[in-house]
Amino acid sequence: MQYAGKKYDYVPTAGKCKFTKIAHLKSSYELALAIMLDKAKHVIEWEYEYIKIGYNYAGKHHHYVMDFNILLDNGQKYLLEVKPMTMYITALQARTADMNYCKWQAAKNFATNHNYNFKVITERGLQQLGRAWT
């Protein structure tokens, strides 16, 4: 694990991350989640920034790359976006005026149409997820 600039390079060790040899994570929260996913007994596989979703914001079409997609041993699939609690609250308060909020609405629609569960995970949610999947 290395810190270079604003990225954390993580080499998945459990064989659960299929397409990524080195995950170039953007935050310490993403790093904590990647490590937890590798250790979690209920996680079969995970991938970082693998699924791209289209969305509209400010009258223009954009693409959003999900932070994590995960498959559990019970067959459930998750799309997880990792954000600090402050950004999450700001997005919810601003609603459609916030780019993150628009991304999350598109992710919810994608999740519904592709049999995923979508969640925004904050620093508080990381601890809860760790307890649930380990």
Enter the DSSP assignment of 97: G
Kindly report the average pLDDT of the chain as a whole number: 92
pLDDT exceeds 50 at position 60: yes
Tell me what pLDDT residue 74 has: 97
The b/e string for 77-97 (b: 16+ C-beta within 10 A; e otherwise) is ebbbbbbeeeebeebeeeeee
pLDDT exceeds 60 at position 5: no
CA distance 23 to 105: 25
Separation of CA 70 from chain center: 9
pLDDT exceeds 80 at position 37: yes
Alpha helices in 19-134 (DSSP H): 28-39, 85-94, 99-113, 123-133
Domain locations in the chain as residue ranges: 2-133
CATH 3.40.1350.10 for domain 2-133: yes
pLDDT exceeds 50 at position 2: no
Tell me what pLDDT residue 14 has: 85
Q: DSSP assignment of 4-49, as one string? A: ETTEEEE---SS-BSS-SSEEESSHHHHHHHHHHHH-TTEEEEEES
Read off the pLDDT of residues 66-116 as tens digits, 9 standing for 90 and up: 999 999 999 999 999 999 999 999 999 999 899 999 999 999 999 999 999
Model-level pTM greater than 0.85?
A: yes
